[in-house]
């Protein structure tokens, strides 16, 4: 369908077209700019715009593709996103000559992925992390509250969340430095201080917010999808010893704020539409402001693979699915604004750890989707490194 070669196992077909920000390796023209992935190439959207090929009414005179992040494009909303998608699918199709037969433009605009460096795709004003997988809530609650009544009663009435740290969100491939901090005192000694001994990460996806809302004007749950541009993969790195000591009574702080990893490519909600599936039935019935006319999840396989340093092969530590969310991403977003809180373009909403129903013994702390790094690496090392990622799964090199 695309004139660009797309290998059969590629995640980047013409039906996906995820957005990111890249710069060319070296060179004086290495300014950050928006691109979409197609096969093993990145299509430079600023070059396509300069060539006049974004000829739709919303994008032809916009400068949103001449920006160092995607925020301005996100602010334009779904009509502009749909126009961009239609334009790009046409432009890349084998039936269309405009780009295919223009060798000099192709040379300029279609860059092999190994000739570019990916950057953080959005300026993130605020980052929120939800807690929306019932299996994860059950697994965590069993540990902290006991097996009889693992889930706090409020969990079934509202999507629980906390504010996270925006400054330390980085893209895959960025080193995560093992945090130092305080852990619980034992006996009469002072609290432990030193490198975290309980570092793990949670497998999550995260929603990238589009237009958003003014302060004081909540978003209706049935219109919430209009404010969701797409999703990224997210690793919520967590130092459990630091977290356990600090979190009463105000929640996670330094146990999380040392780093959060997202994928460089944002997969659009429009591209995910074919994977939409019914969300779980919710009992008790949610309050009217959370009751959706259509309640959707997405059937997307998730897999965590780890490749220890010095080993050839990555191995899979967990498999899950995006459809394990109890609270949908639209319910999360509507709930976030019900008090009048304003969301801005580029805000990031983590789903919370996405755990499945089956237990697993593969180096996990307590739940599918939580991987204890210390079980897998030498305790004396200070830095972890994630080396690759793909739209629907990622590999970690430790």
Q: Residues in the site for a copy of itself, rule: CB under 8 A?
A: 125-126, 128, 131, 144, 152, 154, 157-158, 160-168, 170, 175, 177, 179-182, 185, 190-191, 193, 215-216, 218, 239, 242, 245-255, 257-259, 284, 287-289, 335-336, 338-344, 347
Query: Which partner in a copy of itself, Mg ion, Ca ion, none is near 187 (CB below 5 to 8 A by kind)?
Result: none
Task: Give whichever of 202 and 241 is closer to Ca ion, judged by the CB atom.
Answer: 202
> Measuring CA to CA, which residue among 179, 340, 150, 153 is closest to residue 258?
179
Q: How far is the CB of 258 from a copy of itself (least distance, A)?
A: 4
Burial (CB count within 10 angstroms: exposed 0-12, middle 13-18, buried 19+), residue 309: exposed
Task: Give whichever of 56 and 77 is closer to a copy of itself, judged by the CB atom.
Answer: 77
Binding mask 248-287 for Mg ion (x = CB under 5 A): --------x---x---------------------------
Q: How far is the CB of 248 from Ni ion (least distance, A)?
A: 6
Q: Name the β-bridge partners of 306.
A: 315, 396
Do 297 and 325 form a contact (C-beta atoms < 8 A)? yes
Does position 241 interact with Ca ion (CB under 5 A)? The reply is no
As a whole number of Å, the end-to-end CA separation of the chain is 38
383-389 and 393-397 as β-strands: parallel, antiparallel, unpaired? antiparallel
324-354 per-residue burial string, b: 16 or more CB within 10 A, e: under 16: bbbbbbbbbbbbbbeeeebbbbbbbbbbbbb
Q: How far is the CB of 220 from a copy of itself (least distance, A)?
A: 13
Task: Give whichever of 29 and 188 is closer to a copy of itself, judged by the CB atom.
Answer: 188
Enzyme catalytic residues: 136
Q: What is the DSSP track for 68-107? A: SSSHHHHHH-HHHHHHHHHHHHHHHBTT-HHHHT-HHHHH
Q: How far is the CB of 287 from a copy of itself (least distance, A)?
A: 5
Burial (CB count within 10 angstroms: exposed 0-12, middle 13-18, buried 19+), residue 114: exposed
Burial (CB count within 10 angstroms: exposed 0-12, middle 13-18, buried 19+), residue 379: exposed
- Applying CB under 5 A, the residues found at the interface with Ni ion are 251
Cα 94 from chain centroid (whole Å): 31
| Residue numbers 119-138 binding Ca ion by CB under 5 A | 129
Q: How far apart are CA 166 and CA 148, in angstroms?
A: 36
Query: Which partner in Mg ion, Ni ion, Ca ion, none is near 246 (CB below 5 to 8 A by kind)?
Result: none
341: its two tokens: 């809180």
Binding mask 219-238 for Ca ion (x = CB under 5 A): -----------------x--
Which residue from 44, 236, 246, 292 is in contact with Mg ion, where contact means CB under 5 A? 236
Q: How far is the CB of 253 from Mg ion (least distance, A)?
A: 11
Binding site for Mg ion (CB under 5 A): 236-237, 256, 260
Binding site for Ca ion (CB under 5 A): 129, 202, 236
């Amino acid at each position: 369908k695309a004139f660009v070669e797309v290998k059969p196992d590629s995640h980047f077909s013409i039906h996906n077209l995820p957005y990111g920000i890249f710069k060319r390796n070296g060179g004086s023209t290495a300014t950050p700019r928006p691109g979409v992935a197609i096969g093993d190439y990145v299509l430079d959207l600023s070059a396509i715009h300069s060539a006049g090929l974004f000829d739709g009414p919303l994008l032809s005179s916009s400068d949103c593709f001449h920006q160092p992040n995607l925020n301005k494009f996100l602010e334009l909303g779904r009509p502009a996103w749909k126009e961009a998608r239609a334009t790009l699918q046409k432009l890349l199709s084998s039936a269309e000559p405009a780009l295919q037969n223009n060798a000099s433009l192709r040379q300029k605009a279609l860059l092999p992925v190994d000739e570019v460096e990916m950057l953080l795709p959005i300026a993130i004003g605020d980052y929120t992390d939800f807690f929306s997988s019932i299996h994860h809530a059950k697994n965590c609650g069993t540990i902290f509250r006991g097996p009889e009544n693992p889930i706090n009663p409020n969990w079934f009435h509202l999507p629980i969340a906390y504010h996270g740290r925006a400054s330390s969100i980085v893209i895959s491939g960025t080193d995560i430095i093992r945090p130092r901090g305080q852990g619980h005192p034992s006996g009469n000694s002072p609290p432990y201080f030193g490198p975290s001994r309980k570092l793990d990460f949670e497998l999550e996806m995260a929603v990238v917010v589009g237009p958003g809302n003014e302060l004081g004007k909540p978003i209706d749950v049935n219109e919430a999808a209009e404010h969701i541009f797409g999703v990224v993969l997210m690793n919520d790195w967590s130092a459990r010893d630091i977290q356990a000591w600090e979190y009463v009574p105000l929640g996670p702080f330094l146990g999380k704020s040392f780093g959060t990893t997202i994928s460089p490519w944002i997969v659009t909600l429009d591209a995910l539409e074919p994977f939409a599936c019914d969300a779980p039935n919710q009992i008790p019935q949610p309050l009217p402001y959370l009751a959706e006319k259509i309640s959707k999840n997405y059937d997307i396989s998730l897999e965590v693979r780890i490749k220890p340093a010095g080993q050839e092969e990555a191995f899979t530590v967990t498999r899950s699915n995006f459809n394990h969310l109890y609270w949908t991403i639209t319910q999360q977003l509507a709930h976030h604004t019900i008090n009048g809180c304003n969301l801005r373009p580029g805000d990031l909403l983590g789903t919370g750890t996405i755990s499945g129903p089956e237990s697993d013994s593969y180096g996990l702390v307590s739940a599918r989707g939580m991987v204890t790094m210390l079980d897998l690496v030498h305790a004396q090392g200070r830095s972890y490194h994630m080396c690759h990622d793909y739209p629907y799964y990622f590999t970690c090199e430790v």
